[in-house]
Each structure stands twice: as structure tokens, then as C-alpha cells.
């Protein structure tokens, strides 16, 4: 009873993180800012919901299944974010005016490979 | 109406609004990378909804599906960022 409510509240936190990501996706102005919003449910929301499942089920087998899910998600989320951000920089869809330091601009390899 | 029922209704509403906003961003773009990020977020929301379903209905049949989504979900985004977005840029150049 009480643990059910705890698990549902944890799921609700994950759902609110998903909503935050979608609002950020809709309101932010360029690709890197939208990536910043998009990473919230991918790692934290997923972890909170996995803890919720573990609390609701209370079995070691479920926990043993949830740990690889969270670990794989944590390993793969940065890869896609990195690829999208790199391609956004090379496409020129990053707003140069709001950037204080652009260290990639000094890197000749980035410019050469950007084809 | 118990506390659980109210929580389940609120969770469903929040997930629905979140998915709707991600789909709106997927439609209005403007670039292919924005759509790739939006589809990534939508896939993550599907993952979270499967987890929420496991909590609400007390079953674990969805866990292998969650594992596979977590493992293969990046492939679409990586493929778009690596191969499609370059063509997107080439078309912009041709237009300009």
C-alpha cells in the first residue's frame, strides 16, 4: 500500500522530467540547448522510474534486470548526444552570437573534417 | 477514489502532454537534427511509459523490451546525425 504510493510518486517524478524535456525541446532556440533539455529524462528520469519499478516489485530478479537497463541507457545516451551536437556545429546551426568561447573554431581538424 | 488512482491519472496526463509536445517539435522542425532529438526524446518517453506500466500493473513482461529500447534506441539518432544531416546541409547550400 505505502510502497505502491512511493513507487507511483517515483514514476510521477520521472513523468515530470519527461514533460520538462518536452517543454525545453519546444521552447529553446537552437540544437545544443534542445539537447541540454533532452538529456534529462534519458538518464535521471529513467533512473527514477527504474527505482520505482524496484520498489514496486521487491524482487532481486527484477533489480538484476533493471541495473543493465540503466547502465546501457547511461552508456548510449551520451553517444547520440555527442553525434548530434557535432553535426550541429558542423552544419552551422549553432548560434555563434551567444557563445563566449568557441574552442572548436581554433581546431583545424574540425574544419577539415567538416565536409 | 484512492490515492493510487489519482496518481495514475496524473502520471498518464503528464506523459500524454510530454509526448504531444515532443511530436509538435518533431513536426515543426526546423532542421533534421531537431527532429532527430525530438524522436530520441519520444523514444525515451516510450521507455519511461513501459516502466510506468510495469509499476501500475505489477508485471515484469516489459523489462526485456525496455532493455532492447535502451540498447538500440541510439541507432536512429546516430544514423540521422552521421549520414542524413550532411545531405540536409548540402541542400541548404544549393538553395542559398
**pLDDT confidence bin for B23, thresholds 50/70/90:** very high
Given a cut of 90, is residue B10 above it in pLDDT?
A: yes
Find the range with the poorest average confidence among A63-72, A84-93, A102-111, B48-57. Answer: A102-111
Nearest CB to B14 within list A19, A26, A61: A19
Nearest CB to B15 within list A15, A42, A115: A15
SS3 B61: coil
Q: For residues A89 and A73, which has the higher predicted lDDT (pLDDT)?
A: A73
Helices within B1-96 (DSSP H only): 3-28, 32-57, 63-72, 74-79, 85-95
Nearest CB to A50 within list B24, B51, B56: B51
- Span A10-20, average pLDDT: 91
CA–CA separation, B34 and B37 (whole Å): 5
**pLDDT confidence bin for A113, thresholds 50/70/90:** low
Given a cut of 60, is residue B95 above it in pLDDT?
A: no
Residue of chain A with shortest Cα separation from B72:
A76
Check CB contact of A89 with chain B, cutoff 8 Å.
no
Residue of chain B with shortest Cα separation from A17:
B18
Q: Running DSSP on this structure, what letter comes out for residue A104?
A: G
Q: For residues A66 and B88, which has the higher predicted lDDT (pLDDT)?
A: A66
Q: For residues A31 and A69, which has the higher predicted lDDT (pLDDT)?
A: A69
pLDDT tens across B27-47, in order? 987 888 888 889 989 999 999
User: Are A57 and B3 within 8 A, CB to CB?
Assistant: no
User: Are A11 and B51 within 8 A, CB to CB?
Assistant: yes
ipTM of the complex as predicted: 0.84
Amino acid at each position: 500500500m505505502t510502497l505502491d504510493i512511493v513507487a507511483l510518486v517515483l514514476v510521477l517524478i520521472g513523468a515530470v522530467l519527461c514533460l520538462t524535456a518536452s517543454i525545453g525541446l519546444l521552447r529553446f532556440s537552437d540544437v545544443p540547448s534542445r539537447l541540454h533539455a533532452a538529456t534529462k529524462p534519458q538518464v535521471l528520469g529513467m533512473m527514477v522510474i527504474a527505482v520505482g519499478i524496484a520498489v514496486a516489485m521487491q524482487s532481486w530478479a527484477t533489480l538484476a534486470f533493471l541495473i543493465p537497463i540503466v547502465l546501457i541507457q547511461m552508456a548510449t545516451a551520451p553517444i547520440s548526444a555527442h553525434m548530434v551536437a557535432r553535426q550541429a556545429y558542423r552544419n552551422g546551426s549553432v548560434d555563434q552570437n551567444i557563445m563566449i568561447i568557441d574552442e572548436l573554431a581554433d581546431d583545424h581538424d574540425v574544419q577539415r573534417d567538416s565536409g | 477514489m484512492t490515492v493510487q488512482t489519482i496518481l495514475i491519472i496524473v502520471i498518464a496526463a503528464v506523459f500524454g502532454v510530454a509526448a504531444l509536445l515532443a511530436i509538435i517539435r518533431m513536426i515543426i522542425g526546423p532542421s533534421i537534427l531537431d527532429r532527430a532529438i525530438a524522436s530520441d526524446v519520444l523514444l525515451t518517453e516510450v521507455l519511461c511509459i513501459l516502466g510506468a506500466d510495469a509499476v501500475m500493473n505489477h508485471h515484469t513482461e516489459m523489462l526485456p523490451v525496455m532493455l532492447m529500447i535502451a540498447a538500440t534506441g541510439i541507432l536512429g539518432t546516430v544514423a540521422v546525425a552521421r549520414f542524413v544531416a550532411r545531405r540536409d546541409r548540402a541542400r541548404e547550400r544549393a538553395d542559398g
